[in-house]
Chains A and B, each alone.
Chain A
Amino acid sequence: MFISLLSEHFIHTALLAGAVVSIVCGAIGTFVVARGLSFAVHAISELGFTGAAGALVIGLDPVIGMMSGSLVVGFALGLLSLRGNERDTSIGAVLAFGLGLGVLFLSLYQGYATEATNLLFGSIVGVDDAQLRALVIVAVVVIAGLAVVFRPLLFSSVDLEVAEARGVPVRGLSVAIFLLLALTTAEAIQVVGVLLVLTLVITPAAAAQRLTARPGVSVVLSIAIAFVSTEGGILLSLEQPWPTSFFISAISFTIYLIARAAGSRSRRRTARLVPA
């Protein structure tokens, strides 16, 4: 069964979509983790769900609704550029209301509940050629955007005060990262669903930074981990008919645990004794 499925067109599409999405998620994840935006990612994806549910109610494409929901929230969070506890508290308040709206929209929606379930838990094998094209276009936009802002974004993520003093436009970059994040999230939702976006955006980057202290290597490793998790998850779900999202999250979490165990030894200060 496994081998015969591998020749199916929809599996190829799923594997390609998974590759595209994992590259984007892995790349932006490094900055998300460095800036402590895990909760913001969660909020953006759940409000993407609200947008999608709203779109279903008024008969629009849920992907358009999702992207608008994510972008609006991302833009607002970026503009506020709040820090620390204040940020998490206001995100929590907005998130709660947004989810409430999502519940309302779902109850108003008379169509098939599967569409909503797919948004929540992902439906990678349901991606068609048109969706794949859209995924690729958005991915190119995000990767190009990240490449342009890479250095100042890294600077302002790890060292905000000095970056601002040196002339880095920290506020503009805050808006930029949130907009790129909103696009990334809208991509990831289509693969792993709203509830599991963190498994591609946070977990690979968190594992990667346990394995290296080099910023550039960390981005590459994060992409690799997201890629292996996604493609591995898709292939495993062909063999065992459990949800793809489960396998993806299980693989990335396993890699995270291994990285933590390996990293706790290699990243001690004894590193200074090793010649460069």
Chain B
Amino acid sequence: MSDAPVSVQGLTVQAGSRVLWSGLDIELEAGELLAVLGPNGAGKTTFLRVLLGLTKPCAGCVRIDGSDPQRVRSQIGYVPQQRAFDPDLPLRARDLVRLGVDGHRWGIPLGRGQGGAVDAALAAVGASGYAEVPVGLLSGGEQQRLRVAQALVSQPRLVLADEPLLSLDLAYQQTVVELLDTHRKRAGTPVVFVTHDVNAVLPYVNRVLYLAGGSWAIGNVDEVMTSETLSNLYQTDVDVLRVRGRIVVAGAPDGGSHHH
């Protein structure tokens, strides 16, 4: 068995009777940032759920630090899509981050235990200024900073992010990616980053996993983001263009993979 932080071998996953992909092999190195790209419905989120042990693969196995994902699930940081919180929700920014420390444990949290770790995580993402503000009153960008803090506060072995940039302004997108980038370089934590826009992570990404058409391709950006590779995946002519340092995919058969 491999001693890579994350090891995926021969992974085949179905959604209903449809095979999302089969025979997927990948090993993540310490501190690696993997971008997961592909059209809607290609199974990007399902890939994360398999890494979490929430979705059972048809075949193949996943090991995180050599263990079954279900056993280490509470040591995986997870950054979700931004979503609206009820403005009345009795939950402060600090409480949201605190849930990342011990929210999965039974019982009533007593006292201010872990307050130091929470304060440090809030400071690391620049959120100390609104630590006491109810999350429902924060902007989407502020909430996503908290999400990063919540995911990192427990010193995770692996960070999974599912479209964390969706509906964020460009400046906030930049901040969120930089925060994750800084952490993975310092702590050596691998990051799996699901996004529909490779450009947001282009300067940081080590490798790309592209899921499409029931198949997959993996490699660095220059290997995967080519007309030839994507045409093979989509089984139709797709053009990958480089425009002023940005990657533009033209001709992909559905709207899910347009890159703005």
Chain A interface residues (CB < 8 Å from chain B): 30, 34, 147-152, 154-155, 158-159, 161-168, 206, 208-210, 212-218, 267-269, 271-272, 274, 276
**Cα distance, A168 to B109, chains bound together (Å):** 16
A212 and B90 in contact, given A267-B137, A272-B129 (Cβ under 8 angstroms):
yes
Q: Which residues of A contact B16 (CB under 8 A)?
A: none
**Cα distance, A274 to B70, chains bound together (Å):** 42
B109 touches A269 (CB 8 A): no
B104 touches A272 (CB 8 A): no
A217's nearest neighbour on chain B, judged by CB, is B90
A271 and B132 in contact, given A159-B99, A162-B80 (Cβ under 8 angstroms):
yes
A166 touches B74 (CB 8 A): yes
B103 touches A213 (CB 8 A): no
Closest 3 CB pairs of A and B: A155-B103, A165-B78, A218-B90
Contacts between chains A and B (CB distance < 8 A), count: 113
**Cα distance, A148 to B196, chains bound together (Å):** 40
* B52: Cβ under 8 A from any A Cβ: yes
A164 and B54 in contact, given A147-B108, A151-B107 (Cβ under 8 angstroms):
yes
**Cα distance, A124 to B92, chains bound together (Å):** 38
Which secondary structure characterizes the binding site on chain A? helix
B92 touches A214 (CB 8 A): yes
A34 and B104 in contact, given A166-B78, A214-B95 (Cβ under 8 angstroms):
no
> What is the minimal beta-carbon distance from B96 to any residue of chain A, in angstroms?
7
Q: Which residues of A contact B108 (CB under 8 A)?
A: 147, 150-151, 216
A34 touches B54 (CB 8 A): no
Question: How many B residues, CB 8 Å from partner?
Answer: 38
Q: Which residues of B contact A166 (CB under 8 A)?
A: 73-74, 76, 78, 100, 103-104
**Cα distance, A197 to B73, chains bound together (Å):** 39
15 contacts between A and B (CB under 8 A): A30-B90, A34-B86, A34-B90, A147-B107, A148-B107, A161-B80, A162-B99, A163-B103, A165-B78, A165-B80, A166-B74, A214-B90, A268-B137, A269-B137, A272-B130
A167 touches B104 (CB 8 A): yes
Q: Which residues of B contact A271 (CB under 8 A)?
A: 132-134, 137
Interface centre among A148, A151, A212, A214 (most CB of B within 10 A): A151
Chain B interface residues (CB < 8 Å from chain A): 52, 54, 70, 73-74, 76, 78, 80, 85-92, 95-96, 99-100, 102-109, 129-134, 137, 147, 150, 160
B54 touches A165 (CB 8 A): yes
**Cα distance, A10 to B54, chains bound together (Å):** 54
Q: Which residues of A contact B137 (CB under 8 A)?
A: 267-269, 271
**Cα distance, A162 to B152, chains bound together (Å):** 13
Q: Which residues of B contact A208 (CB under 8 A)?
A: 90
Interface centre among B73, B90, B133 (most CB of A within 10 A): B90
A213 touches B99 (CB 8 A): no
A152 and B133 in contact, given A166-B74, A166-B78, A215-B90 (Cβ under 8 angstroms):
no
Extra A-B contacts (20), CB below 8 Å, given A154-B99, A165-B80, A213-B132: A150-B107, A150-B108, A151-B103, A151-B106, A151-B108, A155-B99, A155-B104, A162-B78, A163-B103, A164-B54, A165-B73, A166-B73, A206-B88, A210-B88, A215-B95, A216-B109, A267-B134, A271-B134, A272-B132, A272-B133
